[in-house]
Structures are given as C-alpha cells and as structure tokens.
A and B are shown apart, each in its own frame.
Chain A
C-alpha cells in the first residue's frame, strides 16, 4: 500500500497554486515586463501608466541609481554617467568596442580582452551590472503589481545572440536575483504571442528589427508546437543605426567636425525624433543648437529612405539566407509578423511586404509583442497552465567550432541545428607522455578562427602518460535549451574524467559574479548565506514536489516494494532537513541523496513516457491524420 499523504501538514504545496511568473523583454532601447493574470497576458505598467521602461540607467555621484524615463532625461546633460543601449555591449570585450562604439559617449576601463567597464562617478560598471539594474527595476514593478514573490522569469534575447551574449544576460538575471526559467528568442516569443491567439498552423516568418539588433526566424506552427526551422540576423544592426545614418547626414549638412559628448547626444536625439516624425509626415524640420545659434534643415521622407536603404537591404539578405537554411520557398510563408519599434518605419514595412509578397501582420503592438509572448511561456513553465499545449523547439543560431592547425575553425555543430544538442569529438596526443591538451572553442560561420567569436579556451589535464596517439580523449559539447554551451571530457582508454576548466573569453567568471553579488548584498544588508539557504530550500521543495507527483502517477507501476521504501525514506529525510536545517550545504546533500536514490526510477519513467508516446501513436495514427 503506497503512502500517498507524506507531506508535513501545512507544508504541502497545493498542486494548483498559482505561481507568479513574468516575461521580460530586455531591449536595447526599451524594456518591458508582462505576466499572465486570470488567463490573460498583459504588460505591467508603472505608476504613471507606462508599460515601456527606457533601457537607460543613470549613476549619480551619491550612488543613486535611476532607471528608465528619469534616467533618459539626463542623457544630454550628463552623458558620461547615463548608460543607454547597454545591450549592445553585452558579451563584448573591450577590443570589440572599436567596431561598435565610435559614437558611445562613455569612457571605458578594463583590459583589451576582458570585460569593459563603463566609468561613471558612482564607480565602474560592466554591461552585465547595468542590465541587472534594469532587470531589478522590472522585477520591483512586477512584485508590486502582482503582489508577491516571483517564482521565475522568461527573459528574451535576440535569436542571433551568441553564447557570450546569452551567458551575460543570464548573469545579469542572477545579479538581479531573478530565477531564469528560460532564455527565449525574441522572434519565437513574438510567434507565441501571435500563434497562441489565433491557433494558426503553417510556416511563418518573424521579422524583428529592434533598437540595436535584427532577427529573422522561420517557424513551423503545428498543434501548439513552435518549431524554429532557421534563424538569422545581425546582432549589431537596428533602429539605432537608422539614427546614426541620419546623425551623420546632419553632421555633414551642418559641417560639424568636432563632437563633444553632449553635442553627440543632442544630434542623435534629434535624429531619432526626425525618424519617428517621418512615420507620419513626408518631411520634417531638423534643428540643432550650435554654439548658441540655431541650425535648421529639412529632411524629406525620400532622403531618409535613401539614407537607410542599405540597412534595410542588409536585413532582406538575412531573410533570404534564413529561408534557404529552412529549405522553405518564399511562397510557402503564410504570414509575416513584424516585431520591434523600428518596424514602424514605413520603408521597412514596404520593403518587407514586397520581399515576402504578403501584407505583414502588425495587430499586436510591436513594442509589446515580445514581452507578451515571453509571459505566456513563463506561465506554462511555472506550471500554471498544465493543459497548455505549447512547446518551443529552437535552434542554434551560429555554428560552434574549434580551432585547428593553422588558425582554421572546424565546425562541430552547424547553425540551425535543433537544441538541445550534444556532439562528441575524439582527440589524441601528439607527443609521448603528453598529459594536457588545449582546446579553443569559437562561434561563427567564417573559416578563420580570427573572424569567429572566441567563446572559451580550456585545457584538458590529467591525461595518463602514453605514447603519442594512444590516448583517446572524448570531448562532449552540450548546448542546452537556452542555447548555452558546456563542455566535458573523458579519456576513454583509462576512463579518467579529464578536468575541464572552461575560461570564458569574454564575460565574467563565476567568482566575479559571486563577488558582485556579495557587494550588492552588503549594500542591501542581506546575507549571502541566507540567499544560498533560500535557494536550496526552493530547490528542495521543487524536488519533493516533483517526486511526489511522479510517485503518485506511476510509483506503483514502476517501482518494486524495496525501491519504493528506499525512495520514501530518502524523501522523508529531505523533507525533515529542509524544515530544520539552517545550512545550505546539508540541504544540498539531502537533495543529492534523494536524486541518487531516484536515478533509476527517473530514467525508467522517461523511457516509459517515450515508449507510450510512440506506441500510442501507432494506434491512433489514422485519427490523428484525419484531424490534421
């Protein structure tokens, strides 16, 4: 007889308790947060009734941190201490800034190959910390509006973000004390917002032109499964570049040769205003205040279109490549969805419509659609919508490879491979008695390592000394559902698990993150240990809840009496420790013990569900096809 009621009274988590989960669109220009409330996805507004939070952070000398509109208002007066478009710096090294940043008004510190830090009067901050400040503001808004602690967040990233940029985003969430349920690609999020509403089936294209990034994704929608067929784009092309094109035109027309940071801000702000005005007008007056004199010029829609036409063409070239990668003809595309504020620019709409030969969909606010989609996914991942038939299958946006002789990149996992994905590769030693091996992992499509993005260098150590070529070291590259890479290695002959230390080429090490967390805690007078304890308690609850649900559904079918007793004992022990222990380590150990006890059972369950799914399919194949 199975023991069904094992939980301590009052401690049992009610199975259908609604969990607070949010979707966050962490954008280059603007950020938003949305949540599903009473079955409906809505963006959450601030006190002034605005849902858009400008992605701008101002650092004052007295260490006051301001985020959003109030920070944006200080951008012209105090450009050095007002950080805008920080997303463009995510996952970038100091040496990358030269290609992005002639127009960035900040001063940077940090080594050439390290993480750049923006110099402000309140201290030097990395892009990760600045992003964390934006996330904190959104989190506070959500907690205030929803009235409780958040169980987790889905944070969107451009589909085209590489590993370093994704990792940086996840690190920012960690600093902001947000549990990331999933990093979701922005176009996929938009597809969810549209697709779930309409129950649409077929192939769709999502054209997402944001402030600083461009993404194109081709998806197949089928009975709640959103399968990304291909994705492409440019992680450094967006509406900001439209502004820059106008700004350069202004500088040439006004014969400005020397730029102060403040004038630079003024020009870019005016360029952005002109761009937005041209959405509804055929021409706009552009003005600047130069040394006390007013400079004014007319910018027609036609000239504007000329200024940005090469940028739009670049996006269409990406669309073509994405179609080809998906193996889809243009005329198979049923719908085109426009996402991102920059798709408000009329010439973009026209060109995209012409290219796909379809009138693009814009009925959901392009600023809100990504956050809305993310919140729908968050709601399901948090477990609120058990019957929700939604599954997102994504792909690797950029090929992963390793450096080989002569500085060439050898591809290990090709772009647009569905994720999660694992690939193993065998290496051997080339010298007698060699005990270590260096591997350099890169991401990108180019042949030369120097043209790809360096992700990590790691060393395999502790290879048993053998004659050259005798060792067989199997390196496994694993990309998870967030698109993040991890590496493990093993010497196959001896079975020695080789020690892999992956040193990220850019980004912060775990120690640095921990250090930053500690710093921020000191300010908030919180204790690191308390946080760690809390994390383990949450994990313990999660594990207990999951195992209870599993036992209830098939414990009797899949477990022998002995196995069941061992698992029950281990589970009771964990519940006890969870309640009484003040030490994170002890709870962690009890979790590990329970997991170890359940290892076979968990595997058996997975096998069973696969078996059932495939076996069941044979029987109802006909009916399924008829439904389709």
Chain B
C-alpha cells in the first residue's frame, strides 16, 4: 500500500499538479475512485480488506477535500513545492490589501444597521467574490512562474477573503433566523 500512501493528492486522481483545476472533473474522478475503494465494496471480504478500504477511502476523501477548496489547494501546492507554510514566521501583508480588509470589515460589521441588510450582504458578497477570483488568478500565475513566496502571499489573501464570505454567510443566516422568530 506504500505505493498509494506515498502519492501526492494530484497523483491519486491522476491529474496534473496545477492550481487550475476543473472542480466538475475532479468530482467525476472522485466518484469513480470511490466506486473502487469505498468500504461498502468490501463488506463481505473479511476484516483485513475492510480496514484497508477504510484507510484508503479516508485518504481519497482527504485528497478530494484538499483539492476542491481553492485555499487548501493553494496551500497544498506550496507545501509540495517545499515551503514550510505551517510554521511560517513572516506574516507581513501588503498594506494596501490590509487597508481594504479593514474597510471591508467595517462594512460587514455595519450590515445590520442598513435598511435592507440582506440586500447589502448580497452586494458585499458579490464584491468579495470578485476580489477572490482576481486573487486566485494572481496566485495561479505566480505559482506557474515558480514565484512561490509571492504565491504564498496571494494564498494568504485568499484566506482573508474566504473568511469574509463566511462572516457574511453567518450574518445572513442569523438575520434570517431572527426573521423566522
């Protein structure tokens, strides 16, 4: 089994190591792979096979979860490139971006005081998603040029923006719950 467990996540799905990835295609491959390895396929094969199937499926799930999320995929690629991003010391960020973030956060925090908070959330969400798409583009081109530390900074920006979308979602749900009573 050492064979499979030593493969990187891209190799598991037999796809090129790249940030640009078609999620729909990844999902197709994921389902195909599950048809081969899922423990349900080994219910009658004895305990040893079942155990192995659980381990392999766990690995496949981990690979899928990592690759399908752009932020996780971006980080994973840098790890593969040899960057020790789990223990990074340098966390300085582009001051312009930080300014933007501060303004965005203020806007997010004041959403509730707006006449139609849900509309405002939609507007901000579109804005953040647009920024996210741009940042992903920049990451991709930095990564392809093997400018890893630059790519790393873009990936941190992705994280920030991702967090923004989550916050907006949280507020939307809270507001909707209140409306329901």
Binding site for B on A (CB under 8 A): 152, 181-182, 222-223, 225, 227, 310, 313, 316-317, 320-321, 324, 380-383, 391-393, 417-422, 478, 480-481, 539, 542-543, 545-547, 591, 595, 598-599, 602-603, 606-607, 609-610, 612-615, 617-618, 624
Q: With both chains docked as a complex, state the minimum distance between the C-beta of B19 and any C-beta of chain A, in angstroms.
A: 20
In the bound complex, what is the Cα–Cα distance between A420 and B64 (angstroms)? 12
Most chain A CB atoms below 10 A, which of B29, B40, B44, B56: B44
Q: Is B38 an interface residue (CB 8 A)?
A: yes
* A residues near B29, Cβ cutoff 8 Å: 614, 617
Q: Please determine whether A610 and B1 come into contact, CB atoms closer than 8 angstroms.
A: no
Q: Please determine whether A393 and B34 come into contact, CB atoms closer than 8 angstroms.
A: yes
Given contacts A420-B58, A610-B4, A624-B28, contact A595 B33 (CB under 8 A): no
Given contacts A418-B65, A419-B61, A420-B58, contact A606 B40 (CB under 8 A): no
What are 28 residue pairs bridging A and B, where the CB atoms are less than 8 Å apart in the complex? Answer: A225-B31, A225-B34, A313-B180, A317-B176, A320-B176, A321-B173, A391-B40, A391-B41, A393-B38, A417-B61, A418-B65, A420-B54, A421-B58, A421-B62, A422-B55, A539-B47, A546-B46, A595-B46, A598-B48, A603-B1, A606-B1, A607-B1, A610-B33, A610-B36, A614-B33, A617-B14, A617-B29, A618-B14
Q: Please determine whether B64 and A182 come into contact, CB atoms closer than 8 angstroms.
A: no
Q: Please determine whether B44 and A317 come into contact, CB atoms closer than 8 angstroms.
A: no
Report the nearest A residue to B2, measured CB to CB: A603
Number of chain B interface residues as a range: 35 or more
Q: With both chains docked as a complex, state the minimum distance between the C-beta of B14 and any C-beta of chain A, in angstroms.
A: 4
Given contacts A321-B173, A606-B4, contact A417 B65 (CB under 8 A): yes
Q: Please determine whether A317 and B38 come into contact, CB atoms closer than 8 angstroms.
A: no
In the bound complex, what is the Cα–Cα distance between A598 and B31 (angstroms)? 28
Tell which of B37, B65, B173 touches A606, judged by Cβ atoms closer than 8 Å. Answer: B37
* A residues near B31, Cβ cutoff 8 Å: 222-223, 225, 227, 391, 393
Q: Is B163 an interface residue (CB 8 A)?
A: no
Report the nearest A residue to B41, measured CB to CB: A391
Q: Please determine whether A614 and B43 come into contact, CB atoms closer than 8 angstroms.
A: no
Report the nearest A residue to B15, measured CB to CB: A614
Given contacts A392-B40, A546-B46, contact A418 B61 (CB under 8 A): yes
Q: Which residues of B, 30-74, contact A by the 8 Å Cβ criterion? A: 31-41, 43-49, 52-59, 61-62, 64-65
* B residues near A542, Cβ cutoff 8 Å: 44-46
Q: With both chains docked as a complex, state the minimum distance between the C-beta of B1 and any C-beta of chain A, in angstroms.
A: 4
Q: Please determine whether B65 and A602 come into contact, CB atoms closer than 8 angstroms.
A: no
In the bound complex, what is the Cα–Cα distance between A313 and B14 (angstroms)? 46
Report the nearest B residue to A544, measured CB to CB: B46
* B residues near A381, Cβ cutoff 8 Å: 40, 43-44
Tell which of A152, A599, A613, A614 touches B48, judged by Cβ atoms closer than 8 Å. Answer: A599
In the bound complex, what is the Cα–Cα distance between A92 and B56 (angstroms)? 33
Q: With both chains docked as a complex, state the minimum distance between the C-beta of A179 and any C-beta of chain B, in angstroms.
A: 10
Mark each residue of chain B from 159 to 181: 1 if its CB lies under 8 Å from any CB of chain A, else 0.
00000000001000100110011
Q: Please determine whether B39 and A313 come into contact, CB atoms closer than 8 angstroms.
A: no
* B residues near A181, Cβ cutoff 8 Å: 43
Tell which of A321, A478, A546, A613 touches B44, judged by Cβ atoms closer than 8 Å. Answer: A546
Q: Please determine whether A614 and B14 come into contact, CB atoms closer than 8 angstroms.
A: yes
Report the nearest A residue to B25, measured CB to CB: A621
Q: Which residues of B, 126-181, contact A by the 8 Å Cβ criterion? A: 169, 173, 176-177, 180-181
In the bound complex, what is the Cα–Cα distance between A543 and B12 (angstroms)? 28
Q: Please determine whether B61 and A420 come into contact, CB atoms closer than 8 angstroms.
A: yes
Q: Please determine whether A320 and B173 come into contact, CB atoms closer than 8 angstroms.
A: yes
Report the nearest B residue to A220, measured CB to CB: B27
Q: Please determine whether B48 and A316 come into contact, CB atoms closer than 8 angstroms.
A: no
Q: With both chains docked as a complex, state the minimum distance between the C-beta of B82 and any C-beta of chain A, in angstroms.
A: 20
In the bound complex, what is the Cα–Cα distance between A198 and B177 (angstroms)? 35
Given contacts A310-B181, A481-B39, contact A607 B61 (CB under 8 A): no
In the bound complex, what is the Cα–Cα distance between A543 and B43 (angstroms)? 11
* B residues near A152, Cβ cutoff 8 Å: 43
Q: Which 9 A-B pairs have the closest CB atoms?
A: A614-B14, A543-B46, A603-B1, A546-B45, A422-B58, A595-B48, A481-B39, A609-B36, A418-B61
